[in-house]
Amino acid sequence: MKFLTVVGARPQFIKAAVVSRAVRSRLAASHDGSVREVLVHTGQHYDASMSQVFFDELDIPNPDHHLGVGSGSHGAQTGAMLERLESVMVEEKPDVVLVYGDTNSTLAGALAAAKLHIPVAHVEAGLRSFNRRMPEEINRVMTDHLSTLLFCPTETAIDNLRLEGLPHVRRPEVKVIRTGDVMFDAALFYGARAEGRSLPAGFDGLHGKDFILATIHRAENTDDSTALGHLLEALERIGERLMPVVWPVHPRTRHLMERDETLRHICSRARHLRMVEPLGYLDMVAAERRARLVLTDSGGVQKEAFFHGKPCVTMRTETEWVELVDAGWNTIAGTEPEAIMTAVEGMLSARLDPANRPPLYGDGHAGEAILEVLIGQINEK
């Protein structure tokens, strides 16, 4: 069996590492070479050094194909990926194409495969924020409806697909499977690796002390200087009133701040917000495990906070991970500084017991479950 994996954004590297590790374990046990993975990196995250550190840390094999698409508008980027992925798929002739999450790489991989009549398997299927202004929401909805195998992390995801008519009686080949969450697998595996790891540069003086870890990466926040300014004011205010805030800054966001006079002014007078260089995955895990609270606009980081037993405040107006809100481990604060401050104070005072977190995302063996379904799908052909 040959399956082709499409990745392009850093969170996808983490998810793909889980299934790739299951493949290598299978090969080591069988010695028959019956399962082969072809790894395609679209280059959607175009900073080569930031991508390479993830491959190195996660022990992912180097890509068989690197498309080098880079940045661009949604249409230009997705179109370039579609054209190049089609050529790779024609050359490789995979039995199934595996895509992850909700990026432009996800949609391009699914669309290229579907046009070539190659079955598509979607990991993290069924997630919905119900906000069609988010590019990720468009990507995930379209990918689900192009897919043959829909690997859902939660029962809520299955319910979302059912409401959209999946699976459908006229498409009997479509299967919806609850596998658990590959990010939970990753948190268990790499969390053990990060145990005892020192905090990275920029966290000086915080060893053994409370701090808040912040991440900001969504385009609606980082590409809008007014929106970003509001968030920076919120982080500085929280750092002044409560405890230090550490923010690893993406290079693209740093460039925006350097070009914008208002943002430069906000940053120049920030005394309680530490802006540090981007973190590799293991450093990020170590920081999450040591933080008192996580403040983010990222879908993946919301879950990672939960996996490592930390309360989370989400700087958005919605989330695809509604289970975390229902369980009390996450709160949706929006993007206004005072609302964020109030939410942080509330979560810091909440009585959350990491030892009694509900089992929301499976048993930590989603990667193996996905591989078994893929093999079974091919054997049925």
Contact partners, residue 172, CB within 8 Å, separation at least 6: none
Pairing of strands 36-41, 65-66: parallel
Let me know if residue 190 belongs to a domain.
Answer: no
Pairing of strands 245-248, 212-215: parallel
Q: Compute the distance between CA of residue 175 and CA of residue 156 in angstroms, rounded to an integer.
A: 16
Tell me what the mean pLDDT of segment 196-205 comes to.
90
Give tens-digit pLDDT for 245-293.
999 998 878 988 999 999 999 999 999 999 999 998 899 999 999 999 9
Output the pLDDT for position 32.
62
174 with 204, same domain: the answer is no
Lowest mean pLDDT among 48-62, 84-98, 101-115: 48-62
Question: Is 60 exceeded by the pLDDT of residue 49?
Answer: no
Which residue among the candidates 65, 122, 217, 250 is catalytic per the annotation? Answer: 217
230 catalytic? Reply is no
pTM for this entry: 0.92
Output the pLDDT for position 298.
94
227 with 142, same domain: the answer is no
45: closest CA among 54, 35, 36? 54
Tokens of 323: 């289970």
Question: Is 80 exceeded by the pLDDT of residue 46?
Answer: no
Give the number of other Cβ atoms within 10 Å of residue 87's Cβ. 12
The helix (H) or strand (E) run that includes residue 33 is none
14 with 37, same domain: the answer is yes
249 with 319, same domain: the answer is yes
What separation in angstroms does the CA of 262 have from each of 229, 232, 256, 297? 8, 11, 11, 22
The CATH number given to whatever domain includes residue 349 is: 3.40.50.2000
SS3 of 92-104: the string is HCCCEEEEECCCH
Q: How buried is residue 297: exposed, middle or buried, by Cβ count under 10 Å (0-12/13-18/19+)?
A: buried
Kindly report the average pLDDT of the chain as a whole number: 93
Output the pLDDT for position 60.
81
349 with 371, same domain: the answer is no
Three-class SS of residue 323? helix
Q: Compute the distance between CA of residue 375 and CA of residue 332 in angstroms, rounded to an integer.
A: 39
Cβ contact 67:77 at 8 Å: no
Phi, psi of 258 (to 5 degrees): -70, -30
Tell me what the mean pLDDT of segment 197-226 comes to.
91
Tell me what the mean pLDDT of segment 355-375 comes to.
96
Question: Is 80 exceeded by the pLDDT of residue 55?
Answer: no
pLDDT band at 48 (very low <50, low <70, confident <90, very high): low
260 with 308, same domain: the answer is yes
Let me know if residue 263 belongs to a domain.
Answer: yes
95 with 70, same domain: the answer is yes
111 with 247, same domain: the answer is no
Give tens-digit pLDDT for 25-40.
887 777 667 789 999 9
Lowest mean pLDDT among 13-27, 33-47, 123-137, 152-166: 33-47
Lowest mean pLDDT among 116-125, 203-212, 229-238, 286-295: 203-212
Give the number of other Cβ atoms within 10 Å of residue 204's Cβ. 10
Let me know if residue 272 belongs to a domain.
Answer: yes
Question: Is 60 exceeded by the pLDDT of residue 315?
Answer: yes
Let me know if residue 187 belongs to a domain.
Answer: no
Q: Compute the distance between CA of residue 236 and CA of residue 227 in angstroms, rounded to an integer.
A: 15
Give the number of other Cβ atoms within 10 Å of residue 174's Cβ. 18
Pairing of strands 120-123, 212-215: unpaired
Give tens-digit pLDDT for 287-313.
999 999 999 999 999 999 999 999 999
Q: How many domains are contained in the chain?
A: 2
Q: Compute the distance between CA of residue 14 and CA of residue 59 in angstroms, rounded to an integer.
A: 10
Domain that holds residue 8: 2-181+362-380
Question: Is 60 exceeded by the pLDDT of residue 371?
Answer: yes
94 with 6, same domain: the answer is yes
155 with 204, same domain: the answer is no
Helices (H), 4-73: 10-30, 48-58
Let me know if residue 191 belongs to a domain.
Answer: no
**% pLDDT > 90, the chain:** 79
94 with 152, same domain: the answer is yes
6 with 38, same domain: the answer is yes
Let me know if residue 43 belongs to a domain.
Answer: yes
Sheet containing strand 96-100, strands side by side:
65-66, 36-41, 2-7, 96-100, 120-123, 149-152, 175-178
